[in-house]
Amino acid sequence: MEQYFIGIDSGTTSIKAVLFDSEGNEIGKAARALQGIFPEEDQYEEDMGEIWEKCKECVREVAVRFPDKKVTGIGITAQGDGLWMVDEEIKPVRNGCCFCDGRAAEFVDQWVLDGTCDRLFDLTGTRIFTGNQNGIVRWMEKYEPESVAKSKYFLHLKDYLFYQFTGQVTTDATDQSLICIDQKTGEYLPEAFRLCGIEKYMEKYPPIKEGKENAFPIQKGLAEELRMPVDVLITSGPMDVSACALGSGVIEEGHCCSIIGTAALHEMVIGEPLKDNIRAGMTVTHAARGRWLRLMASLAGTPNLEWMLNTLGRQVKEDAAARNQDVYSYMEELISEVPIGSRGLMYHPYLLAGGERAPFTDAKARASYTGISVRHTLADIVRATYEGVAFAMLDCYRHMPQTIAQVTVCGGGANSAVWCQMFADVLGTKIITVKGDELGAKGVIIHNMVVQGIYQSYEKAVEKTVEPDKIYIPNQENHNKYQKYYELYRQTCQGVMPTWKTRAELIKER
């Protein structure tokens, strides 16, 4: 009898439940939008209750639409970092703080100045940023001590959803590898907590469990509510970046994965952690044992296009509608008429509340267009926006510890052939996409199947379930041109950096 699996992926802007068969084919999915909450300019929160209710809606919808597909496993992944606080009854204490939240800047800035960031990097392989739990915990301690006092556990979002399904409070090494654990042993690292001044809260961190230990049956009453079999096995993790790499088939050393979504996450598989001196990015435990991901978790993702369309580019939306054409297809036509470098118009894509976190960390970083002249058109602005995200990608890969073997692109950006070719030309590296849209969800069902013994290893599971789709070969002439404009991108960025602090101070004075 064919077995089926549901992968749950709770991102920043939406949550999805995706149904797969045992060969990794997507059968159907349900999705719900999530509402961001912005109490201050540098804060990004979400309602944990809303996320759980919409999670249930998605799973129930899939079950109703495909009643003949017997689900034997559910895997859960979600955005990493942030802080999701629950009380003694495992109920939310407050809204969750997302990975792109920037409120902890005062603590992270101080840790940069006093050398704490460098010491933490030497311990964990991660250059901390404002969205990590440690800084947000310190902010809560200072500004919302009542929330800290009410909290029984400091969770990640994936862990909260796993509890709701199973009644078990756990976590795993993929989420906790960001500043909390010894990369070699997978256990909590007291020195990392001490350096951040949060050692008193170690008891609030849930037990770390490995894959086969972190698997429990669904709660019986919930199974009935969601129309799931009572014996369905729920697995926790891996976290979203590791899940996307696994779902993309990126598990071999030197292979890379770029997730072009709300953030732009660039990751390389490495065989041993803490061996490079590049004090940037993060080191994340991969799903496969003996593998880690060297991660440059840039915030420069698809929201840059969306913001441009909703503000400067409204005319683009109107023109596309008048032509009865998809707006993204129309934008790609526009930029094909603009030369590489957008006639000297440069865009730096630091748009989100958390500023930027790779390959440099600055919570005050903000996006900007530079080099604008009277001869520039809206098409130049559109192309510069695309190119800005591509230059940010190159900036990240220039800070990787090994030579790139190949890059697999996934996320919303993978749907754009023009952007993927631009990535190939900018990097000078072959770009691959794989079949399927929901690769984070696919990663956690691959993990679920390995835990259940349906596949004996991640390698065998990937071989059976992941299929290449398109390949983009770099154009060397274009690559040479992009290298020159990348130098302008770097110089302009370095020139504008000092203004970010001044800007932030002026805004505070209002």
pTM of the model: 0.89
* pLDDT over 90 (residue 60): yes
Q: What are the angstrom distances between the C-alpha of 320 and each of 152, 304, 317, 327?
A: 51, 19, 5, 5
Sort 82 into a burial class: Cβ within 10 Å, 0-12 / 13-18 / 19+.
buried
Q: Which residues of 224-247 are buried (b: 16+ CB within 10 A; e: fewer)?
A: eebebeeebbbbbbbbbbbbbbbb
pLDDT digits (tens, 9 = 90+) for 236-260: 989 999 999 999 999 999 999 999 9
**Tens-digit pLDDT profile for residues 36-58:** 999 998 899 999 999 999 999 99
What is the rounded distance in angstroms from the CA atom of residue 396 to the CA atom of residue 137? 28
Strand 4-10 to strand 282-285: parallel, antiparallel, or no bridges (unpaired)? unpaired
User: What pLDDT, in 10s, does the model give residues 137-184?
Assistant: 999 999 999 999 999 999 999 999 999 999 999 999 999 998 899 998
Does the pLDDT of residue 509 top 80, yes or no? no
The domain 303-402+477-504 is classified under which CATH number: 3.30.420.40, 3.40.50.720, 3.20.20.60, 3.40.50.300? 3.30.420.40
Q: Is the pLDDT of residue 120 over 70?
A: yes
Q: How far apart are CA 219 and CA 340, in angstroms?
A: 56
What secondary structure does DSSP assign to 194-248, as a single string? HHTT-GGGGGGSPPB--TTTSEEEPPHHHHHHHT--TTPEEEE---HHHHHHHHT
Distance of CA 252 to the CA centre of its chain: 20
Q: Given a cut of 70, is residue 1 above it in pLDDT?
A: no
The token pair at 271 is 């065989």
Domain ranges of the chain: 4-249+438-469, 303-402+477-504
What is the arithmetic mean of pLDDT over 219-233? Answer: 95
User: Could you check whether 4-249+438-469 and 303-402+477-504 share the same CATH topology?
Assistant: yes
Q: CATH class for domain 4-249+438-469?
A: alpha beta
Listed in sequence order, the residues at least 6 apart from 398 whose beta carbon sits closer than 8 Å to its beta carbon are: 359
DSSP structure class, residue 279: -
Instruction: Report how far residue 83's alpha carbon sits from residue 97's, in angstroms, rounded to the nearest whole number.
Output: 5
Would you state the pLDDT for residue 362? 85
> Alpha-carbon distance 342 to 336, whole Å?
11
Q: Mean pLDDT score of the chain, rounded to an integer? A: 94
How do 71-78 and 45-46 pair as beta strands?
A: unpaired
